Amino acid sequence: MPGQYKHFYLNYKDKLFSYLLYKCGDRELALEVTQESFVRHLKSYNHNDQITPSLLFTIARNALVDVYRSRGKFKIVESPERSTGVNEEDRFIVREESSLMYEAMKKLDETDRELLVLAVNGVPYREIGNTLNLSAVNVKVRIHRARTQLRKFLVESE
Amino acid sequence: MKNIDHLISLYLDDELSLGQKCHFVEKVHHDVKFYNNAVEFLQQEKMLHTVLRQKAPLDKPVNVLQSKITRMSGWVMAAVLILALSFIGGTYVQKTQQIASLNQESDIYRRFVIQQKETDQVEIVGSFTHWEKIPLVRSGKEGYWEVTLKLPSGEHRYSFVINGNQYRPDPTVLDREMDDFGFSNSILQI
């Protein structure tokens, strides 16, 4: 495997995992879809191509939709997995503000929430636009609108 | 006056052009309302990052094939799947192994947290710091201290150091052992 892809993988594995986890709320599923998405992405990778994350995120979104279809149900964002015992410190710290943030995030329009999670995970606007089929201007406007709405929801919940 | 609040999001997401950076800095300095807005969005962003990062990073490789097989309803299905995969030519397996090998060689970020109220200094020492003290930073107002360190895979031993001389094992990790100096170290397997 070329070093270029290794660098890409190390840069994006946690971002993709975090994005998928937020979308499906299931750690095991997010982990599995992350792995599977990289496998599919690597299969389509041509050494001469420039690697872009938009294809990876598109593959991941489609893989998640496939899983949802096969299971016959849609699972939306759930509360944080603080009680799963993944990390000892997750049980150690219980933050009220986290649940407020989750509640506020749930109130966002689904696409806006997706845009925001991608942006927070450091995915460039151009790649977000490619992944979600939105123009660069649209991405820019909607991400800020999502942040503004989030702030409004957080203020309302206080 | 044109609303340029979206510059704050561009700033947060590292999407500002050079011209926009100039504009942003000038606004922050000369427009109190814009400055307050920027600070509020920054604080919100910190919270958002904390929430999204709360979940453990991708630190344990999953064998995609194995997990799919075990979910099938029986040995027959597993056998059929393995047979089918062997005909495909192993490309998928090869790619899976390549991804899994990347996971194995990558380092893992681990967050260490301890609650110590009325303490001026908390540090961590361990095999991964070559037993050099690394300071933790205070987090919030409830006496929590934290630090995130990059650790290679394997077994690690460590301890917190309170106020420079009191060694304390991680209260959230049950595995411990005494070292040659009589201190109790936590054992962490990654």
Q: Which of A76, A110, A141 is the last residue of a domain?
A: A76
Tell whether the model's pLDDT for residue B37 goes beyond 70.
Answer: yes
To the nearest whole Å, the CA of A43 is away from the closest chain B CA by 7
Count up the domains in chain A and report the number: 2
Which residues does chain A have within 8 Å of residue B111's beta carbon, measured at their own beta carbons? 87, 89
Partner-chain contact B48 A150, CB within 8 Å = yes
Question: Which of A9, A21, A89 lies closest to B111 in CB terms?
Answer: A89
Half-sphere exposure at residue A143, Cβ-oriented, CA atoms within 13 angstroms: 34
pLDDT digits (tens, 9 = 90+) for B102-122: 665 566 778 888 988 888 899
Residues A99 and A71 in one domain: no
Asked whether residue A83 is assigned to any structural domain, the reply reads no
Residues B116 and B184 in one domain: yes
pLDDT digits (tens, 9 = 90+) for B9-27: 999 998 998 998 999 999 9
- Report the CATH number at residue B158: 2.60.40.10
Residues B121 and B175 in one domain: yes
Which residues does chain B have within 8 Å of residue A86's beta carbon, measured at their own beta carbons? 55-56
Q: If you average pLDDT over residues B28-33, what whole number do you get?
A: 90
pLDDT digits (tens, 9 = 90+) for B123-164: 998 888 878 888 998 888 888 898 888 888 778 889 999 998
Q: Which of A23, A49, A76 is the last residue of a domain?
A: A76
The reported pLDDT for the residue numbered B54 is 58
Partner-chain contact B172 A92, CB within 8 Å = yes
- Report the CATH number at residue A154: 1.10.10.10
Question: Which of A43, A87, A105 lies closest to B91 in CB terms?
Answer: A43
Which residues does chain B have within 8 Å of residue A22's beta carbon, measured at their own beta carbons? 52
Residue A139's domain spans which residues? 92-158
What chain A residue is nearest to B65 in terms of C-alpha separation?
Answer: A36
The reported pLDDT for the residue numbered B105 is 57
Distance, CA of A52 to CA of A71 (rounded, Å): 30
Asked whether residue A18 is assigned to any structural domain, the reply reads yes
This model of the complex carries an ipTM of 0.70
Residues B117 and B170 in one domain: yes
Count up the domains in chain B and report the number: 3
Residues A122 and A55 in one domain: no
Partner-chain contact A17 B13, CB within 8 Å = no
